[in-house]
Amino acid sequence: MSLTDPFVGLVPRKMTDSELARAIRLNVAAEVDAINLYAAHMDATDNESARRILAHIIDEEKEHLAEFLELLKILDPTQALDIEKAGPKVRAIVDAPTAEAAHAAHEAIEAGESADADEEPVPTKPPGLGKAPTVGSLRQR
């Protein structure tokens, strides 16, 4: 059973970037679902041909997942900043010697973000593209 509703192609209007970001988040979920499903199929068989094909497809789905995340960063600059800041947070937690130190490190980074947030304005236009993509512009011709 799918975790997502299928996208209906015939729509009365084009989506806004905010609506498209929601749709892309569903695509992210679908890619994650596919990766886990194919990995489970690999685990369930000793057929080497099937395992090789599934491994190849899993690699492709991981690439799709990364591409959708990059598109989401273009469509949602606030989420792009969250993604950018997640790396330092995760590294601080992983590198901390204890759970308490990890919590403190995370809190310190959060406190630092609050100060930075006052200084760095959130971009209002998506970076990377001259014009934000629409459903129509992403369709293959």
Which residues form the interface with Fe ion (CB under 5 A)?
Answer: 61, 64
Residue type, 35: I
Rounded least distance, CB 34 to Fe ion, Å = 6
- Contact (Cβ atoms closer than 8 angstroms) between residue 126 and residue 132: yes
Rounded least distance, CB 30 to Fe ion, Å = 7
The residue number whose beta carbon is nearest to Fe ion equals 64
Q: Which is nearer to Fe ion, 64 or 89 (CB)?
A: 64
- 83 contact partners, CB below 8 Å, separation of at least 6: 69, 73
Q: Which is nearer to Fe ion, 57 or 104 (CB)?
A: 57
Q: Which is nearer to Fe ion, 17 or 67 (CB)?
A: 67
Q: Which is nearer to Fe ion, 6 or 130 (CB)?
A: 6
Write the CA distances from 10 to 14, 25, 141, integer angstroms.
10, 20, 16
- 114 contact partners, CB below 8 Å, separation of at least 6: none
Rounded least distance, CB 112 to Fe ion, Å = 36
